[in-house]
Amino acid sequence: MASSMRSLFSDHGKYVESFRRFLNNSTEHQCIIARIGDTKREIKILSIGGGAGEIDLPILSKVQAQYPGVHINNEVVEPSAEQIAKYKELVFAWHKETSSEYQTRMMEEKELQKWDFIHMIQMLYYVKDIPATLKFFHSLLGANAKILITVVSGTSGWDKLWKKYRSRFPQNDLCQYVTSSDLTQMLDNLGLKYKCHDLLSVMDISDCFIDGNENGDLLWDFLTETCNFNSTAPPDLKAEILKDLQEPEFSIKKEGKVLFNNTLSFIVVEA
């Protein structure tokens, strides 16, 4: 691996930009929102890694529709100040428009109280001890409560990409290569009851095959978790990945586009 390659997480601005390109080119949020269904006088929701609120907002809307007139107490743990600012703007605007009986707060520290619903949308990659994290938040569930987790599926292109190339990507201690196959094994080891469903999702990576394409360059960064991958990766590594991304195990070709297998797993853990 060339010494000039560095982790995408070393440049926060570049990571956010490449992540946005990933969302714009994938069906990830659409498939999660379509899957959200049913989850008293007050409903307490804890969002771990709430991001900019794009998924939290549909969750809140679903809960409000299911329980009209019920007070929703939504609390958020999100380390990025930039994401929190966007979250407040989006979710508070929804609250004003709907005039719902609702309040939200950004948690400053862990508070040991019971929750009706905890969701962890695409965030378990970024904790150091996943089993301990699962065990802790499971202990915070009230009676009949649930945790919703989404991670990439063990059948996705990510699984194949990570298994084959992880040792050749820049190493970092901020992200773990974990899929639903790993996570369900952890849940089994903890003796927790859960259900797991796959959500079909794709990411259009056609621009990755066009030299000098800005969108393609940022998608390369996100795929490899490497800052400026196109300009710093050894040519043989790029050529090898480029070839693999066109293989059926990684992607499908449809209507002239190359669609990367971004299949997610939707895991519901019971109290």
Q: Characterize 130-148 residue by residue with b for buried, 16 or more Cβ atoms within 10 angstroms of its Cβ, and e for exposed.
A: beebbeebbebbeeebbbb
What pLDDT, on the 0 to 100 scale, is given for residue 155? 94
Distance in angstroms (rounded) separating the CA atoms of residues 156 and 200: 9
- What string of pLDDT tens digits covers the 271 residues of the chain? 445 778 776 676 776 778 778 778 887 767 665 655 444 557 788 888 767 777 777 777 777 777 777 777 878 777 777 777 877 777 666 665 554 444 455 444 445 688 888 888 888 988 889 999 999 999 999 888 889 898 999 999 999 999 999 888 887 767 788 999 999 999 999 999 999 999 889 999 999 999 889 999 999 999 998 889 988 999 999 999 999 999 999 999 999 999 999 999 989 999 8
**Binding annotation:** 28, 49, 78, 83, 99, 121, 262
* pLDDT value, residue 31: 67
User: What residue ranges define each of the domains in the chain, with the CATH number in brackets?
Assistant: 8-203+261-270 (3.40.50.150)
Query: In the prediction, which pLDDT does 241 show?
Result: 95
Annotated binding site for S-adenosyl-L-methionine: 49, 78, 83, 99, 121
pLDDT of residue 109: 45
Residues making up the annotated binding site for substrate are: 28, 262
Question: Which residue stretches of 104-234 are H helix?
Answer: 130-138, 157-165, 180-190, 214-224, 229-232
pTM to 2 decimal places: 0.73
CA–CA distance, 88 with 85 (Å, rounded to integer): 5
The Cα angle at residue 157 between residues 151 and 158, in degrees rounded to 5: 45
pLDDT value of residue 115: 87
